[in-house]
C-alpha cells in the first residue's frame, strides 16, 4: 500500500497546483489588466510545466506500476482513483514539456487578442494567433494519439470527456441532425399561430440584476461560503476546490440572458461544490468529464428553470425586483419568453431546440481543423456556410460568427461536442429524477431546489469520477447516453406531446 499512499500525496499536490491555476485563470478573465497578459501567460505555463514534470517523473510511473500490482487489496474508490491517476499520467507523458509550455503561452496570448478582435469584428487580427494555437493543439493531439492509439481529435476529446470518441458521437449527432430541422420548423409554425410573448419592459439596472442572480443562486443551493459571482466577457465557472467562482454578463436592456447565464453556471458550481469531501483532492474526486458537467448546467437552466413550474416562482420575484406591472410579468408570459424558438447567431443565447445546430457546426469545423482539412484562413467562410445550412441564417459579421466563442483561441479543441452530449444527459437525468422524486416539479414552483439537488447529490455529484460516464448514467437512469429522452422532452415542452 506504500506506493498508493505516496501517489495519493503526489496527486494532492497536483490538485493544489491545478487550484492555483484555476484562480489565475479566473483572474485573467475578470480582473487582470490587459498589460499583464504576457506575464500571466508565463505564470500559467510554469504551473502547467511543474505539474507535467511531477506527472512524468519516472518515480510516478514506477509507483503506478507497484500500486496496480496491489490493486486487489484496494477498495472501489481507491481502485477508481488509481485508474484516474494512470489516465492523467498517460496523457501527460505523451506530451513533451516544451510543447506543454508553448501551447499554454500561445493560448493565453490568443485569448487576449481575441477580446479585441471580437469587439472589432476583426478576424484578420486573430488569424495568426489562432493558427499558432491550432498548430500546437494538433501537435498535442498527435502526441497523445500516438500513445493512446487514437486519432488526434479523439485524443484531445479524451482530455475533456474520458472515453468519449467520434465513433460514439457521430451516430448521436446524426440522429439529432435527422430530426431537429423539421422539429424546429414545426415548433416555429405552431408558435407563429399564437400571440407572441410580450417583452419585459426595461431598463434593468445591473445592480438589481446582480442581486436577483444572487437570490436565485441561493435558492438553487449555491454555498456562498465557498464561492462567488463576478462579471466576464464570456460566462464561465472556474476557481478552485472549495472556492467556486462563476461569472455572467449583463445587459440593462434585457434581463433573461444574465439570469439564465447565472443559473447555467450555478449548475456547474453545484456539481463542483457537491463533490465528495473525502476525495476532493484526488483524481477520483473530480467531476466525471465535461459532458456530465454540461449536463448539470443544462439540467438546472434548461430542464428545471425554463419549465412552467419555475416560471411560476420566478414571475413574482421579477415583478417585485423591477416593480413590474401588467401582462408581460405573468408566469405564462415569462414561460413563453423562456421557450421561444427562433434561430439566432449567438450560441450562448440560443434556445434549446436550435442550440444543437450551433454545436453540430462547431464540431464539424473543429474536427476538420484538427485533421488539417480546414485552414484557419478559411474558418469564417466555413462558419458562415454552416450557419446558412443548419439554421438558414446569413452571418453579417465575424463578431456574430466565428469570433463569438473563446474556446478555440483558448486551445479548447474537443470541448464543443460536450455541450450537446450534456443536453442529452441532462434530459435523461432530469426524467429519472422526476420519476424517482415526485416533489421535484412542485418544489421548483416554490423556488425549492432541495428535492432536485438531493437527487443530483446522491446520483451524480457524490459519485464524482468513481464510475465511467455511461456507467454512471446507467446507474442513475437505467441506460447509457442516448437521444430519446432529449427528443421526447422537446416534443413534450414545445408541441404538447404526452
Q: How far is CA 261 from CA 143, 220, 302, 311, 416, in A?
A: 36, 14, 11, 16, 17
Would you say 282 and 235 are in contact if contact means Cβ atoms under 8 Å apart?
no
d(CA 242, CA 247): 16
Angle at 352 between CA 463 and CA 232, to 5 degrees: 75
d(CA 104, CA 25): 12
- Residue 413: partners with Cβ closer than 8 Å, 6 or more residues away: 134, 137, 141, 153, 156, 366, 369, 370, 407
Unique residue bearing C-alpha cell 467562410: 381
d(CA 70, CA 87): 18
Q: List the grid coordinates of 91.
A: 496523457
The sign of the CA dihedral 46, 48, 51, 53 is negative
Would you say 315 and 328 are in contact if contact means Cβ atoms under 8 Å apart?
no
DSSP secondary structure letter of residue 304: I
d(CA 8, CA 309): 45
d(CA 354, CA 344): 8
Strand-pair partners of 246: 229, 237
Q: List the grid coordinates of 77.
A: 474508490
Please indicate whether residue 265 is annotated as part of the active site: yes
- Among residues 363, 423, 362, 361, the alpha carbon closest in space to that of 392 is found at 361
Would you say 382 and 365 are in contact if contact means Cβ atoms under 8 Å apart?
yes
- Among residues 470, 488, 364, the alpha carbon closest in space to that of 417 is found at 364
Q: How many CB atoms lie within 10 A of CB 332?
A: 13
DSSP secondary structure letter of residue 31: T
Strand-pair partners of 227: 244
Residue of 84, 132, 265, 294 marked catalytic: 265
d(CA 149, CA 301): 37
Angle between helices 450-459 and 417-436 (to 10 degrees): 110
Question: Would residue 392 be called left, alpha or beta, if left means φ above 0 and alpha means ψ between -120 and 50 degrees?
Answer: left
Catalytic residues, by residue number, are 265
Amino acid at each position: 500500500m506504500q506506493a498508493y499512499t505516496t501517489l495519493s500525496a503526489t496527486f494532492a499536490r497536483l490538485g493544489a497546483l491545478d487550484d492555483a491555476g484555476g484562480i489565475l485563470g479566473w483572474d485573467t478573465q475578470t480582473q487582470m489588466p490587459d498589460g499583464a497578459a504576457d506575464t500571466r501567460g508565463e505564470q500559467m505555463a510554469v504551473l502547467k510545466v511543474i505539474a507535467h514534470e511531477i506527472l512524468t517523473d519516472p518515480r510516478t510511473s514506477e509507483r503506478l506500476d507497484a500500486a496496480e500490482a496491489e490493486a486487489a487489496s484496494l477498495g472501489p474508490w481507491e481502485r477508481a482513483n488509481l485508474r484516474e491517476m494512470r489516465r492523467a499520467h498517460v496523457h501527460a507523458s505523451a506530451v513533451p514539456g516544451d510543447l506543454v509550455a508553448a501551447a499554454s503561452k500561445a493560448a493565453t496570448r490568443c485569448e487576449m487578442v481575441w477580446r479585441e478582435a471580437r469587439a472589432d469584428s476583426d478576424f484578420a487580427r486573430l488569424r495568426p494567433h489562432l493558427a499558432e494555437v491550432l498548430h500546437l493543439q494538433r501537435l498535442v493531439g498527435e502526441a497523445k494519439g500516438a500513445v493512446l492509439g487514437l486519432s488526434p481529435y479523439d485524443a484531445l476529446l479524451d482530455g475533456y470527456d474520458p472515453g468519449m470518441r467520434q465513433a460514439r458521437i457521430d451516430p448521436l449527432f446524426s440522429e439529432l441532425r435527422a430530426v431537429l430541422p423539421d422539429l424546429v420548423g414545426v415548433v416555429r409554425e405552431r408558435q407563429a399561430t399564437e400571440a407572441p410573448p410580450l417583452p419585459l419592459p426595461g431598463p434593468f439596472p445591473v445592480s438589481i440584476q446582480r442581486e436577483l442572480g444572487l437570490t436565485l443562486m441561493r435558492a438553487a443551493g449555491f454555498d456562498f461560503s465557498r464561492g462567488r459571482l463576478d462579471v466576464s466577457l464570456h460566462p464561465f465557472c472556474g476557481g478552485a476546490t472549495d472556492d467556486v467562482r462563476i461569472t455572467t454578463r449583463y445587459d440593462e436592456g434585457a434581463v433573461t440572458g444574465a439570469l439564465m447565464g447565472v443559473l447555467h453556471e450555478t449548475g456547474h458550481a453545484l456539481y463542483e461544490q457537491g463533490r465528495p469531501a473525502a476525495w476532493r483532492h484526488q483524481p477520483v474526486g473530480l467531476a466525471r468529464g465535461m459532458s456530465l458537467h454540461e449536463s448539470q448546467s443544462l439540467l438546472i437552466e434548461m430542464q428545471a428553470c425554463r419549465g412552467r413550474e419555475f416560471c411560476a416562482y420566478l414571475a413574482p420575484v421579477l415583478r417585485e425586483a423591477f416593480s413590474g406591472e401588467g401582462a408581460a410579468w405573468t408566469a405564462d408570459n415569462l414561460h413563453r419568453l423562456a421557450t421561444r424558438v427562433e434561430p439566432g447567431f449567438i450560441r450562448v443565447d440560443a434556445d434549446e431546440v436550435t442550440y444543437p445546430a450551433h454545436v453540430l457546426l462547431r464540431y464539424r469545423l473543429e474536427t476538420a481543423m484538427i485533421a488539417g482539412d480546414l485552414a484557419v484562413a478559411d474558418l469564417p467562410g466555413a462558419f458562415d456556410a454552416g450557419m446558412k445550412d443548419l439554421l438558414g441564417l446569413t452571418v453579417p459579421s465575424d463578431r456574430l460568427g466565428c469570433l463569438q466563442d473563446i474556446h478555440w483561441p483558448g486551445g479548447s479543441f474537443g470541448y464543443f461536442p460536450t455541450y450537446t452530449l450534456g443536453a442529452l444527459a441532462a434530459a435523461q437525468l432530469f426524467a429519472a429524477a422526476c420519476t424517482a422524486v415526485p416533489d421535484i416539479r412542485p418544489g421548483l414552483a416554490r423556488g425549492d431546489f432541495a428535492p432536485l439537488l438531493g437527487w443530483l447529490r446522491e446520483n451524480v455529484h457524490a459519485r464524482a469520477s468513481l464510475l465511467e460516464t455511461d456507467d454512471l448514467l446507467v446507474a442513475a437512469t437505467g441506460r447509457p447516453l442516448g437521444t430519446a429522452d432529449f427528443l421526447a422532452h422537446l416534443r413534450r415542452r414545445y408541441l404538447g406531446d404526452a
